[in-house]
A = this chain, B = another copy of it.
Amino acid sequence: MMNSSENTNTIFQKGERAPADYFTGTVWFNNLVPADEVLNTQIGNVIFEPGARNYWHTHPGGQILIATAGVGYYQEKGKPVQILHAGDVVKISPDIVHWHGASPDSTFTHIAVNSNTQNGIVHWLDKVTDEEYLEGSA
């Protein structure tokens, strides 16, 4: 297992534990920019400990992920898992069903930019099962 501390971008505070209702494993969320009606943008720093991930979900206004440390997974429904490293950027169009998280052996940190928040921020769906998750490491 890789050393977690080497895979955590330490620019930001860890923030709060993300809710177990929508996340599997240990995830830390720092709400850097809460949504408002002027910028219509919400930005959070998210740290996924090894094996942790969020549930399947959509963003009514879309989302951009900026990977900043460690090795992560991103998957859109019906497509293969993408492996993410620091510096990778993922553009997610509105209403695309997807999930993201850490790989099994590395903490993963990304900045998440939610755009067009006047249309809503997130709709949570089903849990990502261990079977679905482990397809990424096959």
Could you say which of A19-27, A89-97, A99-107, A128-136 contacts chain B?
Answer: A89-97
- Measured between beta carbons, the chain B residues less than 8 angstroms from A32 are 66, 89
Majority secondary structure, A binding face: loop
Q: Give this chain's copy count.
A: 2
A115 with B66: CB separation less than 8 A: no
Please tell me which one of the listed residues B12, B13, B41 contacts residue A115 in the complex, with CB atoms under 8 A apart. B41
Chain A interface residue count, Cβ-Cβ cutoff 8 angstroms: 24
Residues of A within 8 A of B (CB): 11-13, 32-33, 38-41, 43, 62, 64, 66, 68, 86-87, 89, 91, 93-94, 111, 113, 115-116
> 30 A-B pairs, CB-CB below 8 angstroms?
A11-B68, A11-B86, A11-B87, A12-B87, A13-B87, A32-B66, A33-B64, A33-B89, A33-B91, A38-B62, A38-B93, A38-B94, A39-B91, A39-B93, A40-B40, A40-B115, A40-B116, A41-B41, A41-B62, A41-B64, A41-B113, A41-B115, A41-B116, A43-B64, A43-B66, A43-B89, A43-B113, A66-B111, A111-B111, A113-B113
